[in-house]
């Protein structure tokens, strides 16, 4: 397994048969009307992520944790030419992220519930939410 840090909350995780890009925030314009920006600057990694998502020798996934613009970078996602990857999205009560991606022309989307395991290539990913602080204290 190879893990590459993409800045902020972004990672590229590669196993022999699959690549998962997590929360790629790579647009040079930053987020929230450019009030937020990546530090250190990570725009140079956009080309690496594009290359990984174009590698058809592996299954490709993009995991978006939530709809905040520093995790869900629609500008970067819209810049992708190859869109034959699968989105992995958490199952939130609020459908905002799923609705925002409904018209995006990717391969498909997998909506995961808390604790659900999703097969990816020769491995799997399990999404788990951390318990609220008050559950830890009591």
Confidence of residue 138 (pLDDT cuts 50, 70, 90): very low
Confidence of residue 125 (pLDDT cuts 50, 70, 90): confident
Taking the domains of the chain in order of start, what are their residue ranges? Answer: 2-137
> What predicted TM-score, i.e. pTM, was given to this entire model?
0.88
pLDDT of residue 110 exceeding 50, the answer is: yes
**In sequence order, which residues have a C-beta less than 8 Å from that of residue 14 and are 6 or more positions away?**
1, 2, 3, 4, 20, 52, 58
pLDDT of residue 128 exceeding 90, the answer is: no
Element (H or E) spanning 77, and its range? helix 74-79
Asked whether the beta carbons of 20 and 125 are under 8 A apart, the reply is yes
Which tops the pLDDT comparison, 79 or 133?
79
Picking from 6-10, 58-62, 101-105, 131-135, which range would have the lowest pLDDT averaged per residue? 131-135
Does domain 2-137 fall under CATH 3.60.15.10? My reply is: yes
Picking from 20-34, 83-97, 102-116, 117-131, which range would have the lowest pLDDT averaged per residue? 117-131
Asked whether the beta carbons of 32 and 25 are under 8 A apart, the reply is no
């Amino acid at each position: 397994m190879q893990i590459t840090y993409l800045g902020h909350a972004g990672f590229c995780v590669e196993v022999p048969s699959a690549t998962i890009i997590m929360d790629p925030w790579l647009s040079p314009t930053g987020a929230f009307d450019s009030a937020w920006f990546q530090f250190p600057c990570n725009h140079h990694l956009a080309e690496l992520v594009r290359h990984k998502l174009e590698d058809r020798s592996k299954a490709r996934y993009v995991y978006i944790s939530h709809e905040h613009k520093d995790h869900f970078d629609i500008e970067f996602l819209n810049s992708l030419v190859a869109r034959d990857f699968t989105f992995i999205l958490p199952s939130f009560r609020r459908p905002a992220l799923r609705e925002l991606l409904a018209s995006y022309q990717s391969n498909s989307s997998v909506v995961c519930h808390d604790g659900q395991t999703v097969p990816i290539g020769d491995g799997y990913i399990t999404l788990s939410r951390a318990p609220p602080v008050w559950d830890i204290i009591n």
